[in-house]
Amino acid sequence: MSEKPRILIDVDDVIVKNAFLAAFNKFKHTSYKEEDFTEYYFIKEILNERGKAKFAKYILKHDIYENCELMENAEGVMSVLSGLLDIYIASTCVFIGAERTSGVLFERKFNFLMKRFPFLDPNKVILTGIKNCFTGFKYQIDDRLENLHSDIPYKFLFTRNPNKDIGKETLKKYNVIRVDNWIEALDKILRIEFGKKEEKKHENV
């Protein structure tokens, strides 16, 4: 059994950047940007029920992870972290509106992770529909506050447009640390692992 501290890392909008939005722009021939939406499930801001069903069909038909854009420095920092921490992936693969036919999304995401991140252990990829039920980790990184588990000591909220207005008070209440990018996440983890004692205390820095 590995003695390295465990970290649980989200995929969409933490490792991968705007894959669903890029797919939507191809689907609709539009050029929306992340800043145009405030919801995680952005399509509900612009599509009616029929449109959502059509987009779900499109998502099932096309591999949105093939040639997807990665978050800046995700690959390099995760590679560094793999020497220091025991990396687990936790990612949702159940698409809203296609819940019972989402199997292909599990396969594509797993294949993408294995291809792009050869240092990941295939046994430590958790593909799921609900992420806030995993404990036993020292660190967790996700872009949704509700996915961060209260039992995990160091919880990082990865800044994206839908969470940017969550204030310091709320983060403090849930004992969550905001990180704007992977370099900042690495810096905070290194400080916790190797920093002075007082920096190991929980604080919203």
**With respect to Mg ion, which residue has the nearer C-beta, 85 or 163?**
163
Q: How far is the CB of 93 from Mg ion (least distance, A)?
A: 12
Q: Which positions from 116 through 145 interact with Mg ion, judged by CB under 5 A?
A: 143
Count of residues that bind Mg ion according to CB under 5 A = 4
Taking each helix axis from N to C terminus, what angle separates 74-84 and 182-194, rounded to the nearest 10 degrees?
20
Q: How far is the CB of 12 from Mg ion (least distance, A)?
A: 4
**With respect to Mg ion, which residue has the nearer C-beta, 4 or 108?**
108
Q: Which stretch binds Mg ion (CB under 5 A): 13-21, 54-62, 133-141, 177-185?
A: 13-21
Handedness of CA 192, 196, 201, 205 (dihedral sign): negative
In 28-65, which positions are buried (b, 16+ CB within 10 angstroms) versus exposed (e)?
Answer: beeebeeeebeebebbeebbeeeebeebbeebbeebbb
Q: Which stretch binds Mg ion (CB under 5 A): 8-16, 57-65, 120-128, 149-157?
A: 8-16
The answer to the question of residue 13 lying near Mg ion (CB under 5 A) is yes
Q: How far is the CB of 196 from Mg ion (least distance, A)?
A: 32
Unique residue bearing structure tokens 């920092």: 77
Which residue number places its CB atom closest to Mg ion? 12
Element (H, E) at 142: strand 139-142
- Give how far the C-alpha of residue 81 lies from the chain's centroid of Cα atoms, to the nearest Å: 16
**With respect to Mg ion, which residue has the nearer C-beta, 163 or 189?**
163
Q: Which positions from 134 through 193 interact with Mg ion, judged by CB under 5 A?
A: 143
Selected from 6, 7, 9, 10, the binder of Mg ion by CB under 5 A is: 10
**With respect to Mg ion, which residue has the nearer C-beta, 10 or 86?**
10
**Distance, CA of 64 to CA of 24 (rounded, Å):** 10
**Distance, CA of 119 to CA of 83 (rounded, Å):** 9
- How, if at all, do strands 6-9 and 139-142 pair? parallel
**With respect to Mg ion, which residue has the nearer C-beta, 34 or 199?**
34
Burial class (CB in 10 A: 0-12, 13-18, 19+), 115: exposed
Interface residues toward Mg ion, by CB under 5 A? 10, 12-13, 143
